[in-house]
Amino acid sequence: MSNQSIVYYDEGWAYMQNGIKKLLQGLPNPHFTSEDSSMLYTNVYNMCTQNGPHDYSNELYEKYKETFKDYIKSTVLPSLREKKDELLLRDLLKRWSNHKIMIKYLSFFFGYLDIYFTPKRSRSSLEKVGYLSFYSLVYDELQRQVKNAILAMIDRKRAGESIDEKLVNNMLTFYSEIGERTNIKEPKQFAETIIKENPTFNIM
């Protein structure tokens, strides 16, 4: 980055893109030093606290949302769409875990937005934006297939077959988590109904 007192949008966003690329390439174990993370946070802070036309808070908020959308559409959905049954469930859990890691890092890098911009503009918090992106783009599209796969496993257990019960429990935990994180009742209700009807299963 340059030593100019003003961080112009193209320069500042290019710096963030480098950090985001490093994050995505490093999943599920990205490596950022405390200095790396602080510099990305500071870059956002500088871009949000400049005067007049150089306050890029809104642009950065939209880019934050876009980052999740682009990654899900380019990487997550293509992987999930080619799978079914238990393979679909396992990949969904992997993608959900990675998504939570993305939210952890990106909501820190862009964290200054939550101090001033999101409350002032009555926008969703950075964390909620991240979770809603997974719900709207992944959960909505695949929920029927995923539920059918879970119910099929439960039916097999009832029929006396041995199944991967931990996988079912992890999926029920996913439903509970995404419901809590998005404040949407339906996923959590699904998990609670399954547990009520099948007491051997539980949320991890």
Rounded distance between C-alpha atoms, residue 184 and residue 63, angstroms = 24
Q: What is the pTM of this model?
A: 0.93
21-44 pLDDT, tens per residue?
999 999 999 999 999 999 999 999
Rounded distance between C-alpha atoms, residue 124 and residue 132, angstroms = 10
At 202, the pLDDT band (50, 70, 90 cuts) reads confident
Which pLDDT value is given to residue 157? Answer: 94
Which pLDDT value is given to residue 203? Answer: 83
Rounded distance between C-alpha atoms, residue 77 and residue 137, angstroms = 8
148-201 pLDDT, tens per residue?
999 999 999 999 999 999 999 999 999 999 999 999 999 999 999 999 999 889
- Given a contact cutoff of 8 angstroms between Cβ atoms, the answer to whether 44 and 16 are in contact is yes
In the predicted structure, residue 1 carries a pLDDT above the cut 70 = no
CA-based R_g, the chain, Å: 20
Rounded distance between C-alpha atoms, residue 169 and residue 189, angstroms = 15
Backbone dihedral region for residue 85 (phi beyond 0: left; psi -120 to 50: alpha; all else: beta): left
Percent of the chain whose predicted confidence (pLDDT) is above 70: 98
In the predicted structure, residue 19 carries a pLDDT above the cut 80 = yes
125-154 pLDDT, tens per residue?
999 999 999 999 999 999 999 999 999 999
